[in-house]
């Protein structure tokens, strides 16, 4: 796995190992020593609760409360300190604690948390500085920082991508777009026995998404991978755009390719080109690098490629946004595994969905954020911060849910989990009903469950405690079958409820989750703030049609004479003689979650 490490160079380095290339994203294989079989992480993270105002005192108090409230027994075990904890510069090249907020240092804090039977998590990023600007990013320091983290005894690390040198991520230069996009392409010329020029728009075929012909019709632009940070686009389908040419040659041999292009350093028009021959499954790459900058359309130098007699597919593309990011996170995974081979450190990817990590994140990480933050108005000591049910940006429960709910095929025990960000239970603006539905959603979709509030405000048995410690609901998230729920019904999408990206909240969803003992969990969700009058239901047949292949008893579930349904919030049980499970008149933001057990007598 080592050898692809490239963080200290001026430009991204050549990729020599196919395991890091785009085609490998779809082979389901993890890299190196990455552990699989982990269920979603559960714990508490400081960011929503205290923002950069978190301190050692507050963290210890939270660890105390986790135990006092019995939340450790409910499964919450990782205490994660987020951004704002480090000294702003390295000391002798090493990470150091902020002496005002964490005066005793991280080893002491780690020991304290471990003494409570809990686990300790920290935060950093793949760039050269943290989002706060502190020059303590992991880039170029992976090995020494991993040693430091091992000394501190961390069990978990959340890593984002501020100041990343190879992408125009947060605070990275916008000019880094030169690495993440191909130049605009006007034509290619193939020289062999004959010379032929192929026009990008007329002769080329644009595949995937993100690339398009210019309005003038002269050239193709936007060749790269689409940015997944915002709520505009579906996380499914082909998320990169390529330009391909099918060329017909008379004989096997070496040919010269010249690309006519104009380069830039902006979104959609970059400077880095990859050229491959063949389909993704059996491609041979012939070029993977920066072209000389060109403000006007210019011919590249000749690039030698090998073609076979007949029709060959030549693909112009740029998958470096994903490949570079994978390599950077892999360097961290490698370094941690080397420095602390027995520590079983969980790696939580947090590049906000920018590089569509659902496609590759499983190779190195245990979960991957899918969007920008669920709230930007975090709390502090004395203030709860605030959050929303719905919004026109990423900052709301439904914004995160609407994307995560159709990403179930990316997640699993052999891979990792989609991460729709931390829980906002306990923040202003979130009612008890919203909290219950939020908790149900996160448990059904196998999200990491990270509490984000000041737990000193919680008493055993109060409403919040009841919600976050519901062991029946948590059991869905922690079910050992490890299958994220599928949306099998959506009131505004009859054809493809499981894959269609819907952000219009005026609807009812029904999710189905297969469980390890043969039960199925169903969750009926009203995403609207207005009441949903009417009856909503799914039949046994529909359940089997959508998730039967993932059930341990898919063939027999449908043969039960009756079904026992347990409401996991009211704890009421009922028996269904028929073959449909229904609910009606769901209140605004409300939900019903039932566990269905087939009865075979």
Of the two residues 54 and 591, which places its CB atom closer to other proteins in the complex? 54
Residue 61 sits in the site that holds other proteins (CB under 8 A): no
Among 501, 524, 557, 563, binds other proteins (CB under 8 A): 501
Q: Per-residue contact track with other proteins, 381 to 410, x per CB under 8 A?
A: --x--x-----xx-----------------
Among 380, 463, 478, 499, binds other proteins (CB under 8 A): 380
- Counting residues that bind other proteins (by CB under 8 A) gives 46
Residue 13 sits in the site that holds other proteins (CB under 8 A): no
DSSP E strands in 346-499: the ranges are 346-350, 367-369, 417-419, 449-451, 486-490
Candidate ranges 105-113, 168-176, 530-538, 593-601; the one touching other proteins (CB under 8 A): 168-176
Are 19 and 424 in contact by the 8 Å Cβ rule? The answer is no
Among 98, 104, 478, 576, binds other proteins (CB under 8 A): 98
Q: Which residue has the tokens 């491959």?
A: 276
> Which residues, numbered 559-588, are part of the site for other proteins (CB under 8 A)?
none
In Å, the largest CA–CA distance within the chain is 82
Of the two residues 170 and 553, which places its CB atom closer to other proteins in the complex? 170
Of the two residues 176 and 478, which places its CB atom closer to other proteins in the complex? 176
Among 373, 498, 519, 590, binds other proteins (CB under 8 A): 373
Residue 530 sits in the site that holds other proteins (CB under 8 A): no
DSSP label of 479: -
**What b/e readout covers 107-142, taking b as 16+ CB neighbours within 10 angstroms?**
eebbebbeeeebbbbbbbbbbbbbbeebebbbbbbb
Residue 266 sits in the site that holds other proteins (CB under 8 A): no
Residue 411 sits in the site that holds other proteins (CB under 8 A): no
Residue 295 sits in the site that holds other proteins (CB under 8 A): no
Of the two residues 230 and 466, which places its CB atom closer to other proteins in the complex? 230
> What sign has the CA pseudo-torsion 472, 475, 477, 483?
negative
| Residues across the chain | 601
Residue 230 sits in the site that holds other proteins (CB under 8 A): yes
Residue 173 sits in the site that holds other proteins (CB under 8 A): yes
Residue 419 sits in the site that holds other proteins (CB under 8 A): no
| Of 433, 357, 355, 356, residue with least CA distance to 397 | 433
Question: Cα separation of 477 and 483, whole Å?
Answer: 9
> Which residues, numbered 199-228, are part of the site for other proteins (CB under 8 A)?
215, 217
| Of 360, 332, 331, 326, residue with least CA distance to 346 | 332
Residue 131 sits in the site that holds other proteins (CB under 8 A): yes
Residue 556 sits in the site that holds other proteins (CB under 8 A): no
Residue 146 CA neighbour count, 13 Å, CB half? 24
Residue 416 sits in the site that holds other proteins (CB under 8 A): no
List C-alpha distances in Å: 88 to 49, 91, 137, 236, 348. Answer: 22, 9, 10, 39, 23
Question: Cα separation of 576 and 584, whole Å?
Answer: 15
Residue 452 sits in the site that holds other proteins (CB under 8 A): no
Residue 108 sits in the site that holds other proteins (CB under 8 A): no
Q: How far is the CB of 320 from other proteins (least distance, A)?
A: 21
Of the two residues 427 and 568, which places its CB atom closer to other proteins in the complex? 427
| Of 249, 253, 263, 264, residue with least CA distance to 299 | 263
Among 13, 298, 343, 377, binds other proteins (CB under 8 A): 377
In a 3-state reduction of DSSP, which class is residue 484? Answer: coil
Question: Cα separation of 102 and 94, whole Å?
Answer: 16
Binding site for other proteins (CB under 8 A): 51-53, 83-84, 86-89, 98, 100-101, 131-134, 162, 170-171, 173, 215, 217, 229-234, 352, 372-373, 376-378, 380, 383, 386, 392-393, 492-493, 500-504
């Amino acid at each position: 796995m080592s050898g692809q490490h490239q963080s200290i160079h001026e430009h991204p380095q050549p990729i020599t190992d196919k395991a890091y290339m785009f085609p490998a994203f779809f082979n389901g294989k993890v890299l190196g020593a990455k552990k699989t079989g982990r269920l979603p992480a559960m714990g508490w993270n400081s960011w929503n609760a205290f923002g950069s105002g978190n301190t050692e005192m507050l963290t210890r108090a939270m660890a105390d409360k986790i135990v006092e409230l019995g939340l450790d027994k409910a499964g919450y075990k990782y205490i994660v300190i987020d951004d704002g904890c480090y000294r702003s510069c390295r000391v002798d090249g090493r990470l150091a604690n902020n002496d005002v907020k964490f005066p005793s240092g991280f080893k002491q804090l780690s020991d304290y948390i471990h003494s409570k039977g809990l686990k300790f998590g920290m935060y950093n990023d793949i760039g050269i500085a943290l989002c706060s600007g502190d020059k303590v990013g992991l880039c170029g320091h992976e090995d020494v920082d991993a040693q430091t983290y091992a000394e501190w005894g961390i069990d978990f690390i959340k890593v984002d991508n501020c100041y990343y040198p190879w992408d125009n991520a947060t605070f990275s230069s916008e000019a880094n777009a030169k690495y993440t996009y191909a130049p605009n392409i006007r034509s290619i010329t193939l020289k062999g026995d004959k010379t032929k020029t192929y026009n990008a728009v007329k002769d080329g075929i644009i595949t995937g998404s993100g690339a398009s012909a210019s309005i003038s019709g002269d050239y193709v632009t936007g060749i790269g991978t689409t940015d997944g940070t915002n709520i505009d686009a579906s996380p499914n389908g082909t998320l990169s755009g390529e330009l391909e040419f099918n060329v017909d040659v008379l004989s096997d041999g070496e040919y010269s390719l010249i690309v006519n292009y104009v380069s830039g350093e902006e979104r959609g028009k970059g400077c880095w080109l990859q050229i491959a021959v063949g389909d993704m499954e059996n491609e041979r790459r012939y070029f993977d690098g920066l072209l000389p900058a060109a403000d006007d359309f210019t011919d590249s130098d000749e690039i030698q490629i090998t073609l076979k007699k007949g029709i060959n597919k030549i693909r112009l593309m740029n998958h470096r946004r994903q490949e570079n990011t994978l390599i950077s996170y892999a360097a961290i995974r490698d370094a941690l595994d080397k420095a602390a081979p027995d520590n079983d450190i969980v790696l939580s990817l947090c590049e906000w969905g920018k590089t569509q990590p659902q496609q590759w994140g499983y190779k190195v990480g245990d979960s991957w954020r899918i969007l920008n933050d669920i709230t930007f108005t975090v709390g502090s000591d004395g203030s709860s911060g605030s959050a929303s049910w719905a919004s026109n940006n990423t900052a709301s429960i439904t914004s995160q849910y609407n994307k995560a709910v159709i990403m179930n095929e990316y997640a699993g025990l052999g891979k990792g989990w989609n991460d729709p960000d931390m829980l906002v239970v306990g923040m202003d603006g979130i009612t008890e009903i919203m909290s219950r539905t939020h908790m149900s959603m996160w448990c059904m979709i196998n999200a990491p469950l990270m509490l984000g509030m000041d737990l000193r405000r919680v008493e055993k048995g109060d409403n919040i405690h009841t919600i976050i410690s519901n062991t029946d609901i948590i059991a869905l998230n922690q079910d050992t079958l490890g299958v994220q729920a599928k949306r099998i019904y959506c009131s505004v999408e009859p054809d493809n409820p499981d894959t269609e990206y819907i952000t219009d909240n005026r609807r009812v969803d029904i999710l189905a989750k297969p469980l390890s003992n043969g039960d199925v969990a169903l969750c009926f969700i009203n995403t609207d703030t207005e009441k949903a009058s009417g009856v909503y239901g799914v039949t046994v047949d529909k359940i089997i049609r959508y998730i039967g292949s993932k059930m341990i008893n898919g063939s027999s579930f449908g043969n039960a004479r009756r079904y026992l349904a347990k409401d996991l919030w009211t704890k009421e049980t009922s028996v269904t003689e028929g073959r449909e499970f229904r609910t009606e008149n769901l209140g605004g933001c409300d939900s019903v979650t039932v566990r269905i057990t087939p009865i075979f007598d």
